[in-house]
Structure 1
Amino acid sequence: MLQNDSILTTISTARTDTIAVHSAKPQTPYEVLRLLPKDATPAQQDSAIQEWFEPKEIHYSSRPDTLHLPGQERPRDLKEVNLPHYYRENFFSNNTMYHPELSTERIGTSGTPIPYSFQNDSFVTGILIICFLLITFVLSRISDFLLRQAKHFFSTQKSEQTLTETGSEIKFQFLFLFITCLLYALLYFFYTTHFIANTFIFSSEYILLVIFSGAIISYMVIRMLLYTIVNNTFFTNKKNLQLQESLLLITSLEGVALFPLVLLMAYFQYPLQNAIIYTVTILIFAKILTFYKSYTIFFNQKGGFLQIFLYFCALEMIPLIVLWSGLLVITENLKINI
């Protein structure tokens, strides 16, 4: 009580001083609180406000609501659950602007569409993740066999030797072949969208990617068939198996070398010019290894130096040139000329 009395005394003094200075009473509680000391408690602030302001009885209007048509009964609240359906109907009931759950045509000018990017493509991301898992799984299963193949690859023995392969090892190598074809298709798709065109007659980029993959897989199958037909005609079956093992090894190593490049281009915006140089280098190195192995298996004798060039150009370079020309023709026919 003493504290409250002191506060009221202070307020009265402040009130007298305020009236003397301003000759007007505070109009808001904020002005009353400014008259109190900074350490005033909430109870003291409430007492001060009640000292200045006296609550009055609120008189609500008793006039009827006239916000409806004359002669009609008072409108009912639309929030009522049991309200009949005809109460809810009005002139705008069927307007689609009041029903966002219904499909409507967009009003206004459409903006510039976001360009396609592999970074935002979950399908391509899933393919790359699957490729990574498959490469890791296959390397964990046949890493010893690949090392033995690599050691046997540069063997200079003249005797015809082949490595014993199990059925699972052959399947894993063909799986590597498929992954390599898919990575080459992705790289060519990057090249196409950057240098040739980025709009095609298909509504989905996946169709174009499947076409490129199918063309490259067809090239690999046709090349192996040509090697098999020619080698079985002029050489023994055992030498043909030696070359097929070497070709599968070279193709598998191509896929392992190209996978980091595809990741860099898809998610880290690696310069395409550097990627082309890297891809051409890998391709040239693979052709050199193929040339070397063909020479050591079939033409490692006197007088076979000229035949190896004819053999290599007919079975390796000409199919590669046909593949590149075919991909260019396919792209030219599928792109949209603006």
Structure 2
Amino acid sequence: MNDTCSVGFEYIVEKVHEESLQLDSALVRSMQTVSGMPGEVLPYQIRSEWSVTCLILFCFLVFSHIVKNGKKYIIQHIRSLFQRKDRSSLFDEVQGTDNGYTMVFPLLTCICYGLFFYYYSVESFPALVYITPHEALIGGYILLSIFYMLFKWGSYNFVNWVFFEKEQSKAWIQTYFDLLSAQCFLLLPIILFIIYFRPDVIISNILIAFTLISAKILLFYRGFRNFFNQSYGFLHFILYFCALEMVPLLLLAKGILYMNQIVILNF
């Protein structure tokens, strides 16, 4: 009697243990089963960066303030791009505000170019998104743009000091910064379109190339009229223009590619 009761009790315990194991395995399978279609990882979007949003908001507010309060300055400098004045002092009526506007507009242009360099680098080298802080990359591209602007300003001053008169050099520097300021009017809406509408990379490159080529054509026109207004000086100006425009631009492109490769290899 005791043996029978012992065997029956062990049998019940064994069955309960088996049922608990089956229940546990069923729960594990239900947790591991994926219901529905598998999800896809969302692609990286530049507009989700808080630093990009802050920079665009800063550029928009500063740009709006200058356009509202500096209409006279803007109109006179736009006219100066298509006119030639022989007097030594340009824009005497707004000379007190020239320094501020002349520095702020090119700075906004450098920020826009820096954002585009960041966008282009992320699209061309997706590994940059995962290996380094995004704020550091954006800051690096903006500093590279500012360094490029200052390098050209210094090279213009040196070459013009050697070969040309002081008034010609001053007029050329003013033209260069006026064109940087004019590019801001095109670059700001283009950058907004690129970041928030995400067009194809080819379309983005075409828009930026159109802005840059238009500025170079106008700079070519102003430089020829300022330095080599005689037909026999055209060849000399081609050499001048290539040395101070095309070569620095190629160095900038190589510098961006080299910077991206260093970041990918070291981080």
Query: Normalised by the shorter chain, which TM-score bucket?
Result: 0.7 to 0.9
Contact 1:138/1:172 (CA < 8 Å) preserved in 2? Answer: yes
The answer as to 2:55 corresponding to 1:130 is no
The answer as to 2:128 corresponding to 1:225 is no
1:223–1:193 Cα change, 3 Å = same
Deviations 1:27-57 (CA, angstroms, capped at 9, x unpaired): xxxxxxxxxxxxxxxxxxxxxxxxxxxxxxx
Supply the AA of the counterpart residue of 1:246.
Answer: T
1:148 aligned residue (76, 95, 119): 76
Give the distance between the partners of 1:290 and 1:319, measured in 2 at CA.
Answer: 15
Supply the RMSD in Å over aligned alpha carbons: 2.4
Q: How far did residue 156 of structure 1 move? A: 4.7
Q: How far did residue 249 of structure 1 move? A: 1.2
State the TM-score, normalizing by the size of structure 1. Answer: 0.63
Could you say which residue in structure 1 is the equivalent of 2:260? 331
Give the distance between the partners of 2:81 and 2:114, measured in 1 at CA.
Answer: 28
The answer as to 2:146 corresponding to 1:213 is no
Q: How far did residue 155 of structure 1 move? A: 1.7
Q: Which moved more, 1:319-328 or 1:196-205?
A: 196-205
Structure 2: state its 5+ residue gaps: 1-31, 33-38
Deviations 1:165-205 (CA, angstroms, capped at 9, x unpaired): 53432222211111111111111111111122333675410
Q: Which moved more, 1:114-123 or 1:132-141?
A: 114-123
2:221 aligned residue (283, 287, 292): 292
Q: How far did residue 212 of structure 1 move? A: 0.9
SS of 2:104's equivalent in the other structure is helix
Q: How many residues align?
A: 229
Q: Which has the higher helix share?
A: 2
The answer as to 2:234 corresponding to 1:234 is no
The alignment-based identity, stated in percent, is 27
1:211–1:201 Cα change, 3 Å = farther
Rg comparison, structure with higher value: 1
Q: How far did residue 141 of structure 1 move? A: 2.3
Could you say which residue in structure 2 is the equivalent of 1:283? 212
The answer as to 2:222 corresponding to 1:255 is no
Give the distance between the partners of 1:250 and 1:139, measured in 2 at CA.
Answer: 16
The answer as to 2:210 corresponding to 1:304 is no
